[in-house]
Chains A and B, each alone.
Chain A
Amino acid sequence: MKTLTSAHDKISSGGRLTADEILALYEENDLLYLAESARRVKESKTGKKVFYTVNRHVNLTNVCRANCPLCAFSCQSGSNRAFTLELADVEQVVRCQVSGVSEIHIVSALHPTKDFAYYVNAVKLVKRILPHVGINAFTPVEIVNFSQISGKSFADVLRELIDAGVTSLAGGGAEILSDRVREIICPKKCSASQWLEVMRTAHKLGLRTNASMMFGHVETIRERVEHLIKLRDLQDETGGFMAMMLFPFHPENTRLGEQFKLQRVGSWEDLKMLALARLALDNFDHFKAFWVMLTLPVAQLALSFGADDLDGTIGEEKIIHAAGAKSSAGISVDKLRKIISETGYVPTERDSFYREV
């Protein structure tokens, strides 16, 4: 009770929440108190603006040697779902993009035979065709993989990617930053400390990144909170994170879902975690409501729960739809703007770095 009182006091006065206070707020389960408080934090940072971007997702391959139980996207080579884009394919995909795209987002599987040069060349190609477009690419999981397959340090891998044209790193692959959880949901992926180390290195090299959390599987609530604190601590150290995203776990078509008989958490939990994370991560400027994961109606509502960014038009999204997401696979700028305006906020187009365009 004392913890809860101090949490409430800090929310009204602007103090930083401890792990125990965040947990107490979770247990209190006062959804609208969290919403209203989180929305105030959002408005103190970005006012009435809600951001969106015109972007395209490019998934280079779904053939993956990690084969994580949590994933419905990856497959083995030889599967009839397997695809791998060769450079000519990438060129075709990128060339047919509409004008006005300000970001290309590249996230892929850990291909068992493609070498680091393949990925570097893909970036160079995008950069050559769209020289002024931001390239938000690769999660730390992929960076660790590049380091392993090339024998290079994280810093060298990142330098090479920066030279090739990467302008920021994607925030995925964090899942829950606890090795207990990772052992169950993604045993072959990089460890929690490796994920954080890649981000630290990237930030030191001046490469900004996003961050994420995937929740609603085998993690405890305390592990969610510890995850948030780890991100907050690193942000204190480097200031390199731009936006935070929360991914509710989609269990359909995954081995993890089947093994643990998992159901997708409800919209209550989606919105509660968003608001709580917005309150916990006081040093993050932006929170994305990723409509692909949340569905458009819930993403719209998320704007009243602390989110200030609807991400983008996307075009092609394969990973989450493989796990049974029910949202449509792309959206027009008009529709995004309308969704934002309906909530009383001001639709604001941004580039890769949250600069208005």
Chain B
Amino acid sequence: MFVTGDLERIERKVLRGERLTREDGETLFACNELSWLGALADFVRKRLCGDEVLYNVNCHVNLTNICVSRCKFCAFGRNADDRKAYAMTLDEAIKLVAEASRDPNLVGLHIVSGLHPTWTFENYLAFVETLHAKFPALYVKGFTGVEIQHFADISGLSVEEILRRLKAAGLQAIAGGGAEILTDRVRNLLCPNKCSASQWLNVARTAHKLGLPTNASMLYGHIETLAERVEHLIKLRELQDETGGFRTFICFPFLPKNTALEGDIKQTSMFDDLKTIAISRLMLDNFPNIKAYWVMLTVPVAQVALSFGANDIDGTIHRENILHDAGATSPRALAQDDIIKLIRDAGRIPRLVTEAIK
């Protein structure tokens, strides 16, 4: 290709399949050779993932938006007395999933919610038990590391015990959210009431030990430095070396609208979004999948991201709530046909999956 110096050295390492260092990661974030970065990430993607692009037909279930954490980057969480606050009953959750199940291709649920001030762990557990019993064919992925730690805090049970009980109730995988940036400097400023970086990693480690796969994510484009993005990726890579339990990595560009940071922070550029996906693919050499989450990226960027290292485009979603409260301009759901078309137009092969076989 067309680069010189450090970039050429990094390119040679990637082509030989060598691991990139922290310094390499920082060099990549400092460079603006976008198409070169993309082509390099695309090379790695081909080697690790082939030409298939994974997607699923899924339904997001957000049990409540009432949350004690009230993180600065969040437009979804609310106080209990807020006009738009809601908390689902079991029947309402069943109704939502029943409606989504009218699509015969529906394969899974994605359950992520606020940290409700009065709900007990048993309340959350009941949703998993009930939905799993009513819809036994659906793959149930749910709860981020933040929620799991919260359940441990409010119940007095260990993280391991919480995970065992959720698994027994029908939970099959843990969601990747809540990682934000895994440094305590950033977390203290952005989300001081949430679990710490080491707690988040501990939940993932424990889940992997119990045979519960998890996803991982990074929320970027707020107050973090580029070195902290690299730090974050390296922490995930180290844990993956240890357990092998991460399935998919997802980059979340921060959407400032309707959050406490609106006005102070501008939304990331498409340039930064694609660069970050490409660098993630290059740094996370032990992750099987990199997801371009169309809700955050918008559909056009997500499509282009397929040539910047991504091999997963998430799913149809049924109805997205969390990011649309933060001004996401993408649609709330996509038709399966639209997903198939945008993958094919990118010259790739669509493959409908559940999280189970990723």
Contact = CB atoms under 8 A, between A and B. Distances in A.
Interface in A308-345: 326, 339, 342-344
A271 interface: yes
B32 interface: yes
Nearest to B272: A342
Interface string A254-265: 000000000001
A298 B347 CA distance: 19
B39 A32 contact: yes
A32 B269 contact: no
Given A29-B347, A298-B270, A268 B303 contact: yes
B32 A343 contact: yes
Contact of B271 (A40, A267, A343): A343
B300 A36 contact: no
Given A29-B347, A40-B2, A266 B300 contact: yes
Nearest to A34: B35
A39 interface: yes
Interface in B281-340: 298-301, 303-304, 306-308, 329
A266 B32 CA distance: 24
A100 interface: no
B307 A31 contact: yes
A269 interface: yes
Contacts of B299: 266
Interface in A261-313: 265-271, 295, 297-298, 300-301, 304-305
Contacts of B35: 32, 35-36, 39, 304-305
A141 B307 CA distance: 38
B353 to A, nearest CB: 22
A33 interface: yes
Nearest to A299: B270
Contacts of A298: 270, 300
Contacts of B347: 29, 31
Contacts of A295: 300
Contact of A342 (B39, B42, B271, B342): B271
Looking at chain B's contact residues, the main secondary structure is: helix
Interface residues of A, number: 27
Looking at chain A's contact residues, the main secondary structure is: helix
Nearest to A326: B329
Contact of B301 (A32, A265, A297, A326): A297
B2 A267 contact: no
Nearest to A39: B35
B186 to A, nearest CB: 22
B307 A32 contact: yes
Contacts of A326: 329
A242 to B, nearest CB: 25
Pick from B271, B274, B299 the residue with the most CB of A within 10 Å. B271
Contacts of B308: 32
Contact of B303 (A266, A304, A342): A266
A305 B307 CA distance: 13
B90 interface: no
B1 A36 contact: yes
Interface string A9-27: 0000000000000000000
A268 B346 contact: yes
A39 B303 CA distance: 20
Contacts of B42: 32
A301 B304 contact: yes
Contacts of A31: 304, 307, 346-347
A297 B271 CA distance: 8
B345 A269 contact: yes
A278 to B, nearest CB: 12
Pick from A32, A36, A265, A295 the residue with the most CB of B within 10 Å. A32
A31 B35 CA distance: 9
Contact of B274 (A266, A301, A344): A301
A236 to B, nearest CB: 28
A297 B298 contact: yes
A29 B344 CA distance: 11
A205 B222 CA distance: 54
A271 B36 contact: no
Interface string B1-21: 110000000000000000000
A35 B14 CA distance: 20
B253 to A, nearest CB: 11
Nearest to A31: B307
A295 B299 CA distance: 13
B39 A268 contact: no
B270 A297 contact: yes
A342 B306 CA distance: 22
B85 to A, nearest CB: 31
Contacts of A304: 34-35, 271
B275 to A, nearest CB: 10
A31 B310 CA distance: 14
A326 B298 CA distance: 13
B170 interface: no
Contacts of B34: 35, 301, 304, 343
B263 to A, nearest CB: 16
A324 to B, nearest CB: 14
Contacts of B329: 326
Interface of A: 29, 31-33, 35-36, 39-40, 265-271, 295, 297-298, 300-301, 304-305, 326, 339, 342-344
Given A35-B38, A300-B271, A304-B35, 17 more contacts: A29-B346, A32-B35, A32-B39, A36-B36, A39-B35, A266-B303, A269-B345, A270-B300, A271-B304, A295-B300, A298-B300, A301-B270, A301-B274, A326-B329, A342-B271, A343-B34, A343-B271
Q: List 8 A-B pairs, minimum CB-CB distance, nearest first.
A: A344-B32, A267-B300, A297-B270, A35-B35, A29-B347, A32-B39, A36-B35, A304-B34
